[in-house]
Amino acid sequence: MKAAVVEKPGQLTIRQIPEPPLGDYDARCAMLFGAVCAGTDQHLIGGNFPWPIQYPTILGHESIGRIVEVGPRVRHFKIGDVITRVGTTPPEGLHANWGGFAQWGIARDHQAMKEDGLPDEEWSGHRINQIVPPDIDPASATMMITWRETLSYITRLGVKAGAQVLVLGSGGNGHAFVAHATNLGAARVALTGSARRADVAREIGATHFYDYTDANWAARIAEDFPQGFDVIIDAVGKRGQMDAALPLLKPGGTIGIYGLDDWNSLTLNPAQARGTFTYYNGGYDEAETHDQVIAFMRAGKLNARHWLNLDEPFALDDIHAAFDALRSRKLIKALIQLSE
């Protein structure tokens, strides 16, 4: 089968690899669609992911597959189910992060593994494999991975009805945080980012938009929000960005750095704060928000078309063009059709 493999930093190829074997608790999936992540995927390709990576590695962590075969101990999935976060099992000589850009993949029946008494470490990481309801389009479902992660993060961080929220970064995650803050009832949601994305940001709920290339963006925000923000989220993780934004936080407010760009060299000078504040470092649990994301999608509160061009997906063979479109900021996220 075909798979997108980062052979070494800076070298992404499409190559033939063996199809994954089927284990007792496994469901073999024909891969349908995957979404390219401008953050994680590009860091993996560039060789600057914040944590150690073994190459060559199979790329892709936002993929959707349809079950065509199940192992003998699978009982919570069935043939025909569409599953989130499916990835392939790497053959000898390859690694996977997380192996979703391939033509065949494996989902694991984590519920059955838990019921059968297997150790937590063998099944808990597969809770990301969840069923997509039949009324949800599989191409749109690729956004569920981003939406689940970011909704878990922002909910745990503490965004509530009536909050004043500032999001730094207008990529896929930044827009997700804006949509979630709006859906959770935030009173006002400000976003800094690329000016070409201002209209989309307003469509998904941003009440204020600021061009990040404006050297005075922080001062302009301070004029519009003199009382400050309850929550500030850095969706990019650029060094110095949170230091610039910290004076905009209310006393007692909360900040969180979600992005990875400069993860190992980030700074935060507490002397810039108006008073005591909380730095959120609690992460997220993608599986816990699966049902809520589906409810928001069904209610029209999360629409994949604000992030993806659903009508013109890239073929797996053309994945380089998808990344070129991201780097040139023509797209927020790119959709890859994995089945031919």
Q: What's the CATH code of the domain at 257? A: 3.40.50.720
Same domain, 165 and 218: yes
Distance of alpha carbon 84 from alpha carbon 293, whole angstroms:
12
Reported confidence tier of residue 38, pLDDT bands at 50, 70, 90: confident
Same domain, 161 and 271: yes
Same domain, 211 and 314: no
CB 69 within 8 A of CB 28: yes
Distance of alpha carbon 132 from alpha carbon 143, whole angstroms:
12
Reported confidence tier of residue 338, pLDDT bands at 50, 70, 90: very high
Same domain, 208 and 240: yes
Instruction: Please indicate, yes or no, if residue 10 is contained in any of the structural domains.
Output: yes
Same domain, 133 and 189: no
pLDDT at 178 over 80: yes
| pLDDT for 289 | 98
Query: CA 23 → CA 27, 70, 71, 126, distances in Å?
Result: 8, 9, 6, 14
Reported confidence tier of residue 162, pLDDT bands at 50, 70, 90: very high
Distance of alpha carbon 101 from alpha carbon 87, whole angstroms:
7
| pLDDT for 39 | 85
Instruction: Please indicate, yes or no, if residue 181 is contained in any of the structural domains.
Output: yes
User: Which pLDDT tens digit goes with each residue over 225-269?
Assistant: 999 999 999 999 999 999 999 999 999 999 999 999 999 999 899
pLDDT at 181 over 90: yes
- Cα-flanking dihedrals φ and ψ of residue 13, to 5°? -130, 160
- What's the distance, CA 181 to chain centroid? 16
| pLDDT for 246 | 97
Instruction: Please indicate, yes or no, if residue 301 is contained in any of the structural domains.
Output: no
User: Which pLDDT tens digit goes with each residue over 59-105?
Assistant: 999 999 999 999 999 999 999 999 999 999 999 999 999 999 999 99
User: Which pLDDT tens digit goes with each residue over 294-327?
Assistant: 999 999 999 999 999 999 999 999 999 999 999 9
DSSP annotation string for 144-188: HHHHHHHHHHHHHHT--TT-EEEEE--SHHHHHHHHHHHHTT-SE
- Cα-flanking dihedrals φ and ψ of residue 277, to 5°? -145, 170
Same domain, 162 and 208: yes
Instruction: Please indicate, yes or no, if residue 249 is contained in any of the structural domains.
Output: yes
DSSP state of 90: P
Reported confidence tier of residue 339, pLDDT bands at 50, 70, 90: confident
Reported confidence tier of residue 214, pLDDT bands at 50, 70, 90: very high
Same domain, 52 and 158: no
pTM: 0.97
Q: What mean pLDDT is predicted for residues 50-64?
A: 96
Specify which residues 69 forms β-bridges with. Answer: 28
Instruction: Please indicate, yes or no, if residue 138 is contained in any of the structural domains.
Output: yes
**Mean pLDDT taken over the chain:** 96
Same domain, 133 and 7: yes
Same domain, 123 and 65: yes
CATH of the domain at 22: 3.90.180.10
Instruction: Please indicate, yes or no, if residue 297 is contained in any of the structural domains.
Output: no
Same domain, 326 and 251: no
pLDDT at 340 over 80: no
Reported confidence tier of residue 37, pLDDT bands at 50, 70, 90: confident
What is the domain count for the chain?
2
Distance of alpha carbon 120 from alpha carbon 175, whole angstroms:
33
3-state class (DSSP) for residue 277: coil
What is the span of the domain harbouring residue 248?
146-280
| pLDDT for 17 | 97
Same domain, 41 and 93: yes
What residues contact 240, with CB distance under 8 A and at least 6 apart?
267
| pLDDT for 51 | 92
Same domain, 8 and 135: yes
Distance of alpha carbon 168 from alpha carbon 220, whole angstroms:
14
